């Protein structure tokens, strides 16, 4: 009987060690995922800021072309909205 109690205690300790190892691996994986997501978010933000700066520069260099593109995009968006509105009825 005493040998069985010691074996169960040893198996419980082994199980607790395994759980601790698994928890550590999961925690490391989550931290890596969060770190990667933060880096991706920073890169995306910088890319968006660069794009906005490029657009501002382009608009300053060619204001009439930018105005024409904005007008054309507005016409297309309005036409699409109108077409979708009539299509629903």
Helix, strand or coil, per DSSP, at residue 62: coil
Residue 6 pLDDT > 80, yes or no?
no
Encode burial over 72-82: b for 16+ CB neighbours within 10 A, e otherwise: eeeeeeeeeee
29-88 pLDDT, tens digit per residue, is 999 999 999 999 999 999 999 999 999 999 999 999 999 999 999 999 999 999 998 887
pLDDT at residue number 8: 62
Report CA dihedral (46, 47, 53, 59) to the nearest 10 degrees. Answer: -160
Domains in the chain, number? 1
Task: Please state whether the predicted TM-score (pTM) of the whole model is above 0.85.
Answer: no
Q: Which domain, by its residues, includes 74?
A: 2-88
């Amino acid at each position: 009987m005493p040998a069985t109690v010691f074996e169960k205690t040893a198996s419980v300790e082994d199980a607790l060690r395994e759980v601790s190892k698994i928890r550590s691996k999961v925690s490391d994986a989550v931290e890596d995922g969060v770190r990667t997501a933060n880096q991706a978010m920073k890169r995306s933000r910088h890319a968006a800021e660069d794009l906005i700066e490029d657009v501002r520069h382009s608009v300053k260099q060619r204001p009439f072309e930018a105005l024409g593109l904005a007008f054309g995009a507005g016409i297309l968006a309005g036409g699409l909205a109108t077409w979708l509105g009539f299509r629903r009825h």
